[in-house]
Amino acid sequence: MSPVAECLVAFLFGSAVGLLVQRSRFCNTAALRDAIMFKTYRNTKALLVAMMILSIGFTGFMTIGAGHPMNFDVGLNTFAGLFLFGIGMVLAGACTVSTWVKTGEGNLGAAWALLFTFVGMFLFSLVWSWNYWPPAPASMTGEPNLEALQLGFANARTLQDKLGIPAVVFGFIQSAVLFAIYRAILRRERAQQAQHEVHQKEAVEAQAA
């Protein structure tokens, strides 16, 4: 596919995502923050459902060698980077998706967060140009490299190649785990609802008395 066609497909995909996220108020930050801070799970449930579908879809196609899975080494930097990101998204009140979507709704705070995401990236490029860590994709080996704090590369397909079990089997196992978390959230919501109703009933009775 030509680069222009790829860009066009990406734009169409992005437009549909922007529209759906705007209309549903989905927010990845809220999916984690609200579950941690307020024990509410509106966005968490949506995130889990998407991951269940994707786990089976991606691993299904990876079983037959189709698709474009990400292919680069991971390591301590993967954990540390997302740890910093997690703090940042809660402080900014938006993640990568919602900064674009909220900017599209006219939110200047989100546009400001986006601007400083760019600034952060540029600052990191200065540090990287000095210490060259984490290793650039061109110098990645796919194998553990403990000196550079890298664990190498592994996904459902490498498991298939090593163990002879189709990648999609692992996808189904992951989806089953995610579904168990989803069910646990539903149970918790029902318990919260029941407790709320008891409190309401008690308040009405207290008022009547």
CB atoms within 10 A of CB 138: 5
| Shortest distance, position 124 Cβ to other proteins, whole Å | 4
| Shortest distance, position 199 Cβ to other proteins, whole Å | 24
| Shortest distance, position 181 Cβ to other proteins, whole Å | 12
Nearer to other proteins, 81 or 201 (CB): 81
Nearer to other proteins, 137 or 205 (CB): 137
Contact status, residue 141 vs residue 152, Cβ threshold 8 Å: yes
55: Cβ–Cβ under 8 A, 6 or more apart, which residues? Answer: 171, 172, 174, 175, 178
Positive or negative CA dihedral for 8, 14, 17, 21?
negative
Q: Say how far apart CA 200 and CA 206 lie, in whole Å.
A: 10
| Shortest distance, position 68 Cβ to other proteins, whole Å | 4
| Shortest distance, position 115 Cβ to other proteins, whole Å | 7
Nearer to other proteins, 193 or 200 (CB): 193
3-state secondary structure of 75: strand
Nearer to other proteins, 23 or 207 (CB): 23
Q: Categorise residue 152: left if φ over 0, alpha if ψ from -120 to 50, beta otherwise.
A: left
Nearer to other proteins, 109 or 176 (CB): 109
Q: How far is CA 184 from the centre of its chain?
A: 20
